[in-house]
C-alpha cells in the first residue's frame, strides 16, 4: 500500500484498503463512445425491469403534493401493505431505501470489528462490501462447479467469531436456487442467517412463511426488480420480532421516502399487471437460454431469476462485453478467481433478445473470419 499523507492518514485504515463495488455503467456516460444514440442503448447489465414500473406509479407521483412533508418514521402504512403482500404480520417487517440498506443495518447489528461473516461465493458483491465497511472479516465458502452451496463446508467454516451467514436465493450472478432443506440445515446452526430473495418473484421459492418459526432466520426482498422500482430505492426484510425492533431502532430516520411509499401503494394495487410482466420475463428468460445455448462458444447456466450467467468458452469475456457495448448492448462481465471469463445478461424484451442474438452471431463471424 502506498504511503498516505495529509488528511488521508486520518481515515480508518480498514476503509482505506476497501475494494469498491463495481456499479453498472450509466448509459449517459457512453455518449459518443458507442455506435448508436444513447436512447437506443439496450441495457441488459443491471437486472432492471425492461417494462418499467406500473403506470399507476408514474401517475400517482405526478399528482402527489406532499413531498415537503417527512414520511412516517415508523413505516406503519408501508409495513401493513407489505404484510398484506407477504402474508406475514407487520411486526416482522422492516422497510428500507433499497434492500442494500438492510444488508448494512444487519451487519451493524451483529458484526463487530474482526467478527466473521460467512459468504457463499461467487455471489452479490454487496455482502462483501458491507462486511468490510463494518470492519468485519469475510469468510468465503466457494460454491461447487454448478454454483450449489456446499452446506458441510459452510458448517465447517463456523468459528467462535462467526456472527452471520449470508445466502442469496436465487443467487446473483449465477441464477440458481438453494434447496429449502439446505437452507434449513444452515439455519439449524442457530447462527443468524440472512437469505436475500431479491429475485423471489421470478422463481417462486421462498422461506418467508417460516419467519415466525425461527429466532435466527432473516429474509430480504426488494421492489427493484419485479416491480421496476430500482431507481426509487425500496426494499424490505422479514425478521424475528426482536430483530425487527432493533433494526427499526438503528435505521436512520425516514429511511424510506414519500415517493417510494406511493410507489409501493400503487404497485400493490396493480399487482396483476406487474405479475403478468414477470411472467413475460420468465418466458423470455427460457427463450434467451435456448438461443444462447445454440451458440457453441457460450455456456448459459439455468436461472430462476431475471438474468442468465454464461461462461465464455472462446475468447475473453471482457472483450465480448466491450464489443457488445460498442454496438449499444450493455451486459456485465466477470473475470475473478471463482468466476473466470463469464458474462451475465439481464432478460429484456423479446426485441432485445433478438438484437442481442443477432449481434452475438455477428461477433461470432468476426472471430471465425
Q: Which is nearer to ligand PLP, 100 or 267 (CB)?
A: 100
C-beta separation of 111 from 134 below 8 A:
yes
Q: How far is the CB of 108 from ligand PLP (least distance, A)?
A: 16
Question: Where would I find the beta strands (DSSP E) of the chain?
Answer: 42-43, 93-96, 116-121, 137-142, 162-168, 193-196, 217-222, 235-238, 298-300, 307-312, 329-330, 332-336, 339-346
Q: Which is nearer to ligand PLP, 136 or 228 (CB)?
A: 228
C-beta separation of 235 from 102 below 8 A:
yes
Q: Which is nearer to ligand PLP, 178 or 222 (CB)?
A: 222
Binding segment for ligand PLP (CB under 6 A), chosen from 25-33, 80-88, 157-165, 219-227, is 219-227
Strand partners, 139: 118
Q: Which of residues 123-142 bind ligand PLP (CB under 6 A)?
A: 124
d(CA 62, CA 53): 14
Nearest Cα residue to 311 out of 331, 326, 294, 333:
333
Question: Should residue 235 be labelled a site residue for ligand PLP when binding is judged by CB under 6 A?
Answer: yes
Nearest Cα residue to 36 out of 331, 325, 360:
325
Residue nearest to ligand PLP (CB): 98
Q: How far is the CB of 175 from ligand PLP (least distance, A)?
A: 10
Q: How far is the CB of 168 from ligand PLP (least distance, A)?
A: 4
Neighbours of 322 (CB within 10 A): 12
Question: Should residue 172 be labelled a site residue for ligand PLP when binding is judged by CB under 6 A?
Answer: yes
Q: Which is nearer to ligand PLP, 54 or 306 (CB)?
A: 306
Question: Should residue 222 be labelled a site residue for ligand PLP when binding is judged by CB under 6 A?
Answer: yes
Do the bridges between strand 298-300 and strand 235-238 make them parallel or antiparallel, or are there none, so unpaired?
unpaired
State the cell numbers at 127.
455482502
Question: Should residue 198 be labelled a site residue for ligand PLP when binding is judged by CB under 6 A?
Answer: yes
SS (H, E, C) 276-325: HHHHHHHHHHHHHHHHHHHCCCEEECCCCCCEEEEEECCCCHHHHHHHHH
State the cell numbers at 70.
417527512
Q: How far is the CB of 181 from ligand PLP (least distance, A)?
A: 21
Q: Which of residues 70-99 bind ligand PLP (CB under 6 A)?
A: 98-99
Q: Which of 90, 164, 168, 329 binds ligand PLP (CB under 6 A)?
A: 168
- Compute the Cα dihedral for 333, 338, 341, 342 and give only its sign: negative
Q: Which of 41, 42, 44, 47 binds ligand PLP (CB under 6 A)?
A: 47
Question: Should residue 196 be labelled a site residue for ligand PLP when binding is judged by CB under 6 A?
Answer: yes
Using CB under 6 A, count the residues that bind ligand PLP.
14
Q: Which residues contact 101 (CB under 8 A, 6 or more apart)?
A: 233, 235, 251, 255
In the block, which residue shows the cell 407487520?
Answer: 90
Q: How far is the CB of 103 from ligand PLP (least distance, A)?
A: 8
Binding segment for ligand PLP (CB under 6 A), chosen from 8-16, 147-155, 224-232, 315-323, is 224-232
Binding segment for ligand PLP (CB under 6 A), chosen from 87-95, 218-226, 339-347, 348-356, is 218-226
End-to-end Cα separation, the chain, in angstroms: 45
Question: Should residue 210 be labelled a site residue for ligand PLP when binding is judged by CB under 6 A?
Answer: no
Strand partners, 249: none
Q: How far is the CB of 194 from ligand PLP (least distance, A)?
A: 10
Q: Which is nearer to ligand PLP, 114 or 231 (CB)?
A: 231
Q: Which of residues 327-346 bind ligand PLP (CB under 6 A)?
A: none
Q: Which spans of this chain sit near ligand PLP (rule: CB under 6 A)?
A: 47, 98-100, 124, 168, 172, 196, 198, 222, 224-225, 230, 235
Amino acid at each position: 500500500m502506498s504511503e498516505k499523507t495529509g488528511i488521508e492518514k486520518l481515515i480508518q485504515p480498514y476503509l482505506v484498503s476497501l475494494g469498491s463495488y463495481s456499479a453498472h455503467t450509466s448509459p449517459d456516460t457512453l455518449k459518443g463512445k458507442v455506435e448508436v444514440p444513447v436512447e437506443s442503448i439496450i441495457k441488459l447489465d443491471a437486472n432492471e425491469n425492461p417494462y418499467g414500473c406500473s403506470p399507476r406509479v408514474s401517475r400517482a407521483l405526478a399528482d402527489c403534493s406532499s413531498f415537503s412533508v417527512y414520511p412516517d418514521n415508523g413505516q406503519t402504512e408501508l409495513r401493513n401493505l407489505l404484510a398484506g403482500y407477504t402474508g406475514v404480520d407487520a411486526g416482522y417487517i422492516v422497510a428500507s431505501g433499497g434492500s442494500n440498506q438492510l444488508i448494512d443495518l444487519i451487519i451493524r447489528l451483529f458484526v463487530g470489528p474482526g467478527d466473521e461473516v460467512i459468504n457463499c461465493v461467487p455471489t452479490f458483491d454487496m455482502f462483501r462490501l458491507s462486511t468490510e465497511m463494518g470492519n468485519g472479516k469475510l469468510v468465503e465458502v466457494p460454491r461447487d462447479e454448478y454454483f450449489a452451496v456446499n452446506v458441510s463446508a459452510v458448517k465447517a467454516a463456523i468459528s467462535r467469531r462467526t456472527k452471520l451467514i449470508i445466502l442469496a436465493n436465487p443467487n446473483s450472478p449465477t441464477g440458481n436456487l438453494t434447496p429449502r432443506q439446505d437452507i434449513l440445515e444452515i439455519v439449524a446452526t442457530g447462527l443468524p442467517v440472512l437469505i436475500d430473495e431479491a429475485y423471489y418473484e421470478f422463481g417462486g421459492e421462498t422461506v418467508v412463511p417460516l419467519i415466525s418459526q425461527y429466532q435466527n432466520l432473516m429474509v430480504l426482498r426488494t421492489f427493484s426488480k419485479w416491480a421496476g422500482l430500482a431507481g426509487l430505492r425500496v426494499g424490505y426484510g422479514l425478521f424475528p420480532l426482536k430483530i425487527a425492533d432493533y433494526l427499526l431502532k438503528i435505521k436512520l430516520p425516514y429511511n424510506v421516502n414519500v415517493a417510494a411509499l406511493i410507489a409501493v401503494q400503487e404497485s400493490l394495487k396493480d399487482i396483476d399487471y406487474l405479475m403478468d410482466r414477470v411472467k413475460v420475463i420468465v418466458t423470455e428468460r427460457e427463450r434467451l437460454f435456448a438461443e444462447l445455448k445454440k451458440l457453441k462458444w457460450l455456456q448459459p447456466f439455468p436461472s430462476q431469476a431475471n438474468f442468465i450467467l454464461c461462461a465464455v468458452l472462446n475468447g475473453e469475456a471482457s472483450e465480448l462485453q466491450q464489443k457488445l457495448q460498442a454496438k449499444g448492448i450493455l451486459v456485465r462481465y466477470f473475470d475473478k478467481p471463482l468466476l473466470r471469463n463469464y458474462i451475465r445478461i439481464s432478460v429484456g424484451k423479446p426485441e432485445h433478445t433478438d438484437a442481442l442474438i443477432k449481434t452475438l452471431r455477428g461477433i461470432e463471424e468476426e472471430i471465425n473470419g
